[in-house]
């Protein structure tokens, strides 16, 4: 299955690049610290300069997530929020902002939504909420055809992840299967704020560029404006998660907006 259609996700990244900057992609979890505040934080991120939003759907076994995001997800789970609640919030979000939003969650949630082996139900629900795509970080590109078919049928982009340790064949598979953008992880391990960026991100982006003309965006560990500026020098987009989640918990929408404005300044190439 070959993906060639330009999605609204890719178009947003290309528009940012044409404006002389790397696209800024902000991750925030649905339901943290509660649904209404998470909606307000996502809206604040869009208003402050985020080009794309990743909406995390909390999951009980978040393999990729570090302590900040794990703790936020647990708050949402403890409040009893369900994927239906998260999707309803996303519908309100996409009606209120002009930037594309993607769901980021784990494959088991999509697999079981609406009943076992009902991937199409989750894709349809995401499309009904006007989401533009999905990131399922534990779904290997080589095993993603079933999901990709359902996603394509509902005009959803599917973003796959590439790690610094990925072999050539794995990068080929990720580059081929991804639509919207390719997610290059800057380091091995889980998400989290870092004092400095890994020196493995730029070589990974270079390896991906040898394989695809699709946008390549870098996440995991990007924390500060200086980090954003560094990534903007070699990637098409900058993904920030844990720092945004911390801001949401510490100061709500105002703190998120302040962080995003600072990161957006770093994303502008000079």
Q: Which residues are catalytic?
A: 54, 65
- The helix (run of H) or strand (run of E) holding residue 24 is strand 23-29
CA 78 to chain centre: 23
Interior angle at CA 91, CA 88 and CA 97, nearest 5: 140
Q: Is 166 left (phi over 0), alpha (psi -120 to 50) or beta?
A: beta
Tokens of 73: 């997800």
Instruction: Quickly list DSSP for 140-172.
Output: -GGG-HHHHHHHHHTT-EEE-EE-TT--HHHHH
The closest alpha carbon to 110, from 129, 138, 85, belongs to 138
The closest alpha carbon to 184, from 199, 167, 169, 202, belongs to 202
Tokens of 162: 């590439």
Biggest distance spanned by C-alpha atoms of the chain? 50
CA distances from 42 to 93, 97, 241, 257 (A): 8, 9, 12, 9
């Amino acid at each position: 299955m070959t993906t060639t259609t330009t999605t609204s996700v890719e178009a947003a990244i290309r528009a940012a690049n044409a404006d002389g900057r790397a696209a800024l992609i902000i991750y925030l979890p649905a339901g943290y610290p509660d649904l209404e505040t998470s909606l307000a934080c996502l809206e604040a991120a869009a208003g402050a300069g985020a080009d794309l939003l990743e909406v995390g759907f909390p999951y009980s076994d978040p393999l990729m997530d570090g302590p900040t995001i794990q703790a936020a997800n647990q708050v949402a789970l403890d409040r009893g929020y369900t994927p239906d609640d998260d999707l309803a919030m996303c519908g309100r979000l996409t009606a209120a902002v002009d930037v594309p939003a993607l769901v980021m969650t784990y494959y088991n949630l999509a697999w079981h939504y609406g009943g076992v082996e009902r991937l199409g139900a989750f894709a349809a629900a995401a499309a009904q909420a006007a989401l533009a795509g999905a990131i399922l970080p534990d779904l290997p590109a080589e095993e993603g055809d079933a999901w990709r078919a359902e996603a394509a049928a509902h005009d959803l982009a599917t973003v796959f992840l590439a790690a610094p340790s990925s072999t050539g064949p794995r990068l080929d598979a990720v580059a081929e299967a991804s639509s919207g953008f390719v997610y290059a992880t800057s380091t091995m391990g889980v998400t989290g704020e870092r004092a400095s960026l890994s020196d493995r991100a730029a070589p990974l982006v270079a390896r991906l560029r040898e394989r695809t003309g699709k946008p390549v965006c870098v996440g995991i560990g990007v924390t500060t404006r200086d980090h954003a500026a560094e990534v903007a020098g070699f990637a098409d987009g900058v993904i920030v998660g844990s720092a945004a989640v911390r801001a949401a918990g510490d100061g709500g929408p105002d703190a998120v907006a302040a962080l995003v404005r600072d990161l957006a300044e770093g994303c502008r190439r000079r």
